[in-house]
Structure 1
Amino acid sequence: MGGAGVPLRELGLVLLTAAAITYLMTGPVRSLLVRTGRVAEIRTRDVHTQPTPSLGGLAMFSGFICAVFLAEQLPALTRGFAPVTPEMTAVVAGAFAIVIVGLVDDLYELGALTKLIGQCLAAVLLSFLGVTFTVFFVPFGDGTTLILDQVQGMAVAALFTVVLINAVNFVDGIDGLAAGLGMIAGGAILVYSLTILHDQAGAVSAYPPAIICAALVGICAGFLPHNFEPARIFMGDSGAMLIGLLLAAASISASGKINMSLYGTADFIALISPVMVVGAAVALPVIDLVWAVVRRAAKGQSPATADAGHIHHRLLRLGHTHRRTVLVLYTWVSAVAFGAVSFSIVPVRFAVGVTAIAVVAAALLTAVPLLSSREATGASGRRPRRSGSRRR
């Protein structure tokens, strides 16, 4: 990763700036919300027990904007901005739009349809200004490259963005989960982008996703100390939807603009499309979203109806503590996301081995309550009583 054309120090500075600004801004935002009485009340499906401020997305957006402004001033990263490429301008505009929608929703609770319309407008703005799919490399057969026209690329990009916005928003139901998953998924796509920068000698198309992900990892890392259990502030829809939009933008930029047919078919990186890599990075939130829609439709409910059937709720009911639930989900996302990325940067055998070990570790961590229960039952002849955690 340290080859010529890979601006590691500059991207590291962007990441640290995003983290520092977000961390420092979150405290004042929380204080303002507490003084003005803007706190999230307890709902039946919530796992927290104290009313908590819920506009952390404002601090996260501040960190993102400052990081992007810094990146634009660094000579090594100027290839990621206009006039070379319009993508960063599109991302800033889309991020601003989605944060406005989120802030209004956090303050006044928009209806499901109104919020969806706002999400669609932000997604269309993002794709219209330049973050669109243009090519798909099919890694099977003769390695066909599918070319999308402007309308097709914008439509697919907008739909993908709305799906990811809602996926992250749906999974944001437990302290530290959305911020941690955003940091992990963003880190995986960042590693992938750095691989492309290295292999394609600083390809212009790999600069925007690298910058987006560096800033995304930074704002999530900066917010997490305030949000990890017990959370002192929530990111709210403004923060969760911002993470979803940035993940979508980075994913589209990394997979929709890089022509993988430049690689030889003997190189294993040609066998894993960027779409598969970024798909793995955001697999868990998307699975949870699809599962929620199917579950609610089967009950005759609207897909927007809130419930306590998400993956994190089920892990809590399984017997995991609040923090262990978050760590289990962190482990699964890390195993899948970095497992997929590892195939592009290390030998195949090593990647398979590391991925298999990570998946087994995640599975064992998930099964801890069941294993503990069996051991206790076998020793005493009866199933132990649960203590009744306040977080269940």
Structure 2
Amino acid sequence: MRIYLLIAAIAGGVTWLVTPLIRHVAIEIGAVGEVRARDVHTIPTPRMGGLAMLIGFTVATVFASKTMFLSGLFTGNYQMWVILAGGIMISLLGMADDLWDLDWMLKLAGQLLISVFVAWGGLQIISLPFGGSLITASPSLSMAITAFLIVASINAVNFVDGLDGLASGIVAIGGIAFAIYSYIIARYSPSYASLATLIDVMMVGICVGFILHNWHPAKLFMGDSGSMLLGYLITCASIVMTGRLDPASIHPSIYLPVFMPILLPILVLFLPVLDMCLAIVRRLAKGQSPMHPDRMHLHHRMLRIGHSVRGAVTILWGWAALIAFGSLMILFFRARYVLIGMAVAVVVLTVATMYPYLKHRIPEMQAESRAMEATREGAQHAAMPSGKTGSSKDSGKLAIEAEPDQQQGRSIDRNADRDAGQSVESGK
């Protein structure tokens, strides 16, 4: 484990050191992102930070190949060098997009060609889950599935890269979960050395090293050269870890989680994949291109309901950690306990996510309730004078009707007094 931590520190340290230099180069060559309608930042900021991440990953790879514990992964096996070559090509494609803003179809074609090259070089999903066991896929099917997963992950991370530190943080969280997962699996193999774990720790290192410069307010953006590299690396690590598993060599206690070679990248990249799927459906429903930019991504919605940039990033990190580590906890705890813990975490994160909206919405609802109450009372007061007028009219009518009776009564009283007076005089 200590050698992996050392490799991660080297990757992160080199990335952190060269990022200011890359920022200067980006400014000199004009790789500065102009403020667009969909952007959150308000001032032009240099891009092309992915080049610093690529340099950190390359230096860490070369160092790892010289260590005694990990050198066996490079001896007689060119898979890591193929992955590094693919990473260099995908970063160069991203740099071209950072500089010249390539057409989305051209960029997608380049991603597909690089993915096919990497699959042809040996990075393939060989085993597929079917009928309660793992079966071997044909070479053409393996290449197609591998290329599809790489392209999908590249664009998923690219879609979610909209706030300072968001994409690199989500990938780092997924990389940590993957590193722990692959390290546990490697303990049941003859050698503890694991290529998947090596890729994961180097990826986490370059993410952490870059976040130190990319935290809001960012001094440099990773650009497509960085987001595409991260999506590529995390998928390569997952394919290396799960693509060539032998069920006979896996301990029964971890066989079930291992039995998901295709779902693992989706679980770790759940938020980016969800955001990408929603964006594609939303744009196609409007008759737009799937790559048409807008301000309806998940991070845009978080800002719209009242979160700050740092608050939105932190909460989205929390959701990513819940999904990534929730599946990992099944290895150590019973499923029902994991589900209970995840349910509690979901409630907490939901409250944190909706808090700014509720904070403003609840007073608005109270004000609306008071306004409705005031309107109701006003209507009641408006109805009271008309009721009093009717009562006066009725009273007047009764008084008029009562006057003949009263006059008749007074006549009767006067007659009675006259008769009484006559009686008195007669008595005298």
Q: How far apart, CA to CA, are the structure 1 residues paired with 2:96 and 2:254? A: 46
Q: State which of 130, 134, 158 in structure 1 corresponds to 2:126.
A: 134
3-state SS, counterpart of residue 219 of structure 2: coil
3-state SS, counterpart of residue 102 of structure 2: coil
Deviation at 1:346, TM superposition (A): 3.6
Q: How far apart, CA to CA, are the structure 1 residues paired with 2:248 and 2:275? A: 33
Q: Determine the structure 2 residue equivalent to 1:105.
A: 97
Deviation at 1:263, TM superposition (A): 4.0
Deviates more, 1:369-378 or 1:113-122: 369-378
Q: State which of 247, 259, 262 in structure 2 corresponds to 1:273.
A: 259
Q: State which of 34, 39, 43 in structure 1 corresponds to 2:27.
A: 34
Q: State which of 195, 201, 207 in structure 1 corresponds to 2:184.
A: 195
Deviation at 1:126, TM superposition (A): 1.3
Asked if the contact 1:174/1:312 (under 8 Å) is kept, the reply is yes
CA distance 1:89–1:372, shift in 2 (3 Å): same
Q: Determine the structure 2 residue equivalent to 1:373.
A: 360
Measured against aligned partners, the alpha-carbon deviations of 1:295-320 in whole angstroms (never above 9, x if no partner) come to: 10000001111111111111111211
Q: Which amino acid aligns with 2:158?
A: N
CA distance 1:359–1:53, shift in 2 (3 Å): same
Q: How far apart, CA to CA, are the structure 2 residues paired with 1:42 and 1:117? A: 27
Q: Determine the structure 1 residue equivalent to 2:116.
A: 124
Asked if 1:208 is matched to 2:195, the reply is: yes
Q: Determine the structure 1 residue equivalent to 2:60.
A: 67
User: May I ask how many residue pairs the two structures share in their alignment?
Assistant: 369
3-state SS, counterpart of residue 42 of structure 1: coil
Q: State which of 316, 329, 332 in structure 2 corresponds to 1:329.
A: 316
Measured against aligned partners, the alpha-carbon deviations of 1:320-344 in whole angstroms (never above 9, x if no partner) come to: 1111111111000000011111112
Q: Determine the structure 2 residue equivalent to 1:158.
A: 147
3-state SS, counterpart of residue 343 of structure 2: helix
Q: How far apart, CA to CA, are the structure 2 residues paired with 1:339 and 1:285? A: 17
Measured against aligned partners, the alpha-carbon deviations of 1:20-50 in whole angstroms (never above 9, x if no partner) come to: 0000000111122234443110000000001
Q: State which of 181, 184, 188 in structure 1 corresponds to 2:170.
A: 181
Q: Determine the structure 1 residue equivalent to 2:346.
A: 359
Asked if 1:293 is matched to 2:280, the reply is: yes
Q: Which amino acid aligns with 1:179?
A: S
Q: How far apart, CA to CA, are the structure 1 residues paired with 2:16 and 2:332? A: 32
Asked if the contact 1:87/1:208 (under 8 Å) is kept, the reply is no
CA distance 1:72–1:268, shift in 2 (3 Å): closer
Q: Determine the structure 2 residue equivalent to 1:282.
A: 269
Asked if 1:114 is matched to 2:101, the reply is: no
Specify which structure has the higher proportion of helix: 2
Asked if the contact 1:82/1:89 (under 8 Å) is kept, the reply is no
Asked if the contact 1:90/1:127 (under 8 Å) is kept, the reply is no
Q: Which amino acid aligns with 1:361?
A: V
Asked if the contact 2:30/2:99 (under 8 Å) is kept, the reply is no
Q: State which of 306, 310, 313 in structure 2 corresponds to 1:319.
A: 306
3-state SS, counterpart of residue 128 of structure 2: strand
Root mean square deviation, CA, Å: 2.0
Q: Determine the structure 2 residue equivalent to 1:387.
A: none
Deviation at 1:278, TM superposition (A): 3.3
CA distance 1:202–1:361, shift in 2 (3 Å): farther
Q: How far apart, CA to CA, are the structure 2 residues paired with 1:36 and 1:88? A: 31
Q: How far apart, CA to CA, are the structure 1 residues paired with 2:226 and 2:355? A: 31
Asked if the contact 1:23/1:222 (under 8 Å) is kept, the reply is yes
Q: Which amino acid aligns with 1:164?
A: S
CA distance 1:64–1:268, shift in 2 (3 Å): closer
Deviates more, 1:18-27 or 1:115-124: 115-124
Segments of 4+ moved more than 6 angstroms: 378-383
Deviates more, 1:346-355 or 1:9-18: 346-355
Deviation at 1:357, TM superposition (A): 3.0
Asked if the contact 2:188/2:249 (under 8 Å) is kept, the reply is no
Which ranges of structure 2 fall in alignment gaps of 5 or more residues? 371-428
Identity of aligned residues (%): 37
Q: How far apart, CA to CA, are the structure 2 residues paired with 1:346 and 1:74? A: 35
Q: How far apart, CA to CA, are the structure 2 residues paired with 1:82 and 1:132? A: 19
Q: How far apart, CA to CA, are the structure 2 residues paired with 1:173 and 1:189? A: 24
Q: How far apart, CA to CA, are the structure 2 residues paired with 1:39 and 1:172? A: 16
Which ranges of structure 1 fall in alignment gaps of 5 or more residues? 1-7, 384-392
Q: How far apart, CA to CA, are the structure 1 residues paired with 2:215 and 2:363? A: 30
3-state SS, counterpart of residue 135 of structure 2: strand
Q: How far apart, CA to CA, are the structure 2 residues paired with 1:260 and 1:354? A: 30
Asked if the contact 1:268/1:344 (under 8 Å) is kept, the reply is yes
Q: Which amino acid aligns with 1:273?
A: F
Larger Rg: 2
Q: How far apart, CA to CA, are the structure 2 residues paired with 1:264 and 1:228? A: 41
Asked if the contact 1:136/1:259 (under 8 Å) is kept, the reply is no
Measured against aligned partners, the alpha-carbon deviations of 1:70-121 in whole angstroms (never above 9, x if no partner) come to: 11111111232241x3321121011011011011111111111111111111
Deviation at 1:221, TM superposition (A): 0.3
3-state SS, counterpart of residue 367 of structure 1: helix
Q: Determine the structure 2 residue equivalent to 1:238.
A: 225
Q: State which of 141, 152, 159 in structure 2 corresponds to 1:170.
A: 159
Asked if the contact 1:167/1:244 (under 8 Å) is kept, the reply is yes
Q: How far apart, CA to CA, are the structure 2 residues paired with 1:334 and 1:96? A: 28
If asked which structure has higher relative contact order (CA below 8 Å, sep 6+), I would say 1
Q: How far apart, CA to CA, are the structure 1 residues paired with 2:137 and 2:72? A: 24
Q: Which amino acid aligns with 1:220?
A: C
